[in-house]
Structure 1
Amino acid sequence: MKFNYGEPAQPPITLTEEERAQQDRPDSLANPHEPIVVESESIHLVDLDNVAKAEDRPRILILTPLRDAAPHLEKHFELLSQLTYPHHSIDLAFLVGDCTDDTLEVLHAEIDRLQKDSNPAQFRTAKIILKDFGANFDQSVEDRHSFHAQGTRRKGIGRSRNYLLYAALKPEHEWVYWRDVDIVENPPDIIEEFMQHDKDILVPNIWFHRYDKNGKDIEGRYDYNSWQESWRGRRLASRLSKDTILAEGYKEYRTHRKYLAWMGDWRKNKKKEVKLDGIGGVNILVKADVHRSGINFPCYAFENQADTEGFAAMAKRAGYEVVGLPNYVVWHIDTEEKEGNLKGNRAQIEAKEAKERERAQVEIHKGSV
Structure 2
Amino acid sequence: MARPMGSVRLKKTSPATLAVGVALCIFIIYFLIGPSTPNFSPSRKAAAAAHHLSPPTSPFRKPTGDKQKQKPPPVAHYNLNNVTTTPNPLENRENILILTPMARFYPAYWDNILRLEYPHELITLGFILPKTKEGNEATRELQKRITKTQKHGPEKDRFKSIIILREDIDPPLVSQDEKERHKLENQKVRRAAMAKARNSLLYSTLGPSTSWILWLDADVVETPPTIIQDLASHDQAVMVPNCFQRYWNEEKQMMDERPYDFNNWQDSPTALDMAKKMNPDDILLEGYSEMATFRTLMAYMSREDGRLHEEMPLDGVGGAALLVKADVHRDGAMFPPFAFYNLIETEGFAKMSKRLGWQPVGLPNYKVYHYNE
2:115 is the alignment partner of 1:115: no
2:238 is the alignment partner of 1:205: no
In the alignment, which residue of structure 2 is the partner of 1:48?
A: 80
- SS of 1:46's partner is coil
Q: CA deviation at 1:52?
A: 5.0
One of 83, 97, 101 as aligned partner of 2:130:
97
Larger radius of gyration: 2
2:208 is the alignment partner of 1:143: no
Q: CA deviation at 1:213?
A: 3.7
- SS of 2:290's partner is coil
Gaps of 5+ in 2: 1-70, 86-90
2:158 is the alignment partner of 1:131: no
Q: CA deviation at 1:314?
A: 0.4
Conserved 8 A contact 1:266-1:329: no
Which range moves more in the overlay, 96-105 or 198-207? Answer: 96-105
Task: State the TM-score, normalized to the length of structure 1.
Answer: 0.76
Q: CA deviation at 1:142?
A: 2.3
Q: How do residues 252-271 of structure 1 correspond to structure 2 at under 5 angstroms?
A: 252-265=290-303, 267-271=305-309
* Rounded Cα–Cα distance in structure 1 between residues aligned with 2:76 and 2:330: 19
Q: How do residues 213-232 of structure 1 correspond to structure 2 at under 5 angstroms?
A: 213=250, 215-232=253-270
Q: CA deviation at 1:299?
A: 0.6
- Identity rate, percent: 37
2:359 is the alignment partner of 1:325: no
Q: How do residues 170-189 of structure 1 correspond to structure 2 at under 5 angstroms?
A: 170-189=207-226
- SS of 1:43's partner is coil
2:205 is the alignment partner of 1:168: yes
In the alignment, which residue of structure 1 is the partner of 2:353?
A: 315
In the alignment, which residue of structure 2 is the partner of 1:15?
A: none
* Rounded Cα–Cα distance in structure 2 between residues aligned with 1:51 and 1:141: 39
* Rounded Cα–Cα distance in structure 2 between residues aligned with 1:287 and 1:319: 13
Counterpart of 1:111 in structure 2: which amino acid? Answer: I
* Rounded Cα–Cα distance in structure 1 between residues aligned with 2:157 and 2:284: 41
Q: CA deviation at 1:252?
A: 2.0
Conserved 8 A contact 2:131-2:166: no
Task: Please give the per-residue CA displacement for 1:137-190, whole angstroms capped at 9, x wherever unaligned.
Answer: 121222211110011111110000000001111000000000011122211111
Counterpart of 1:65 in structure 2: which amino acid? Answer: P
Count, aligned residues = 293
Q: How do residues 27-42 of structure 1 correspond to structure 2 at under 5 angstroms?
A: 40-42=72-74
Task: State the TM-score, normalized to the length of structure 2.
Answer: 0.75
In the alignment, which residue of structure 1 is the partner of 2:287?
A: 249
Counterpart of 2:146 in structure 1: which amino acid? Answer: I
Conserved 8 A contact 2:128-2:197: yes
Conserved 8 A contact 2:109-2:222: no
In the alignment, which residue of structure 2 is the partner of 1:191?
A: 228
Conserved 8 A contact 1:297-1:310: yes
Task: Please give the per-residue CA displacement for 1:86-125, whole angstroms capped at 9, x wherever unaligned.
Answer: 1111111101114322011001101111112642311111
Conserved 8 A contact 1:62-1:178: yes
Task: Please give the per-residue CA displacement for 1:7-61, whole angstroms capped at 9, x wherever unaligned.
Answer: xxxxxxxxxxxxxxxxxxxxxxxxxxxxxxxx942532221112459x9501000
Counterpart of 1:306 in structure 2: which amino acid? Answer: I
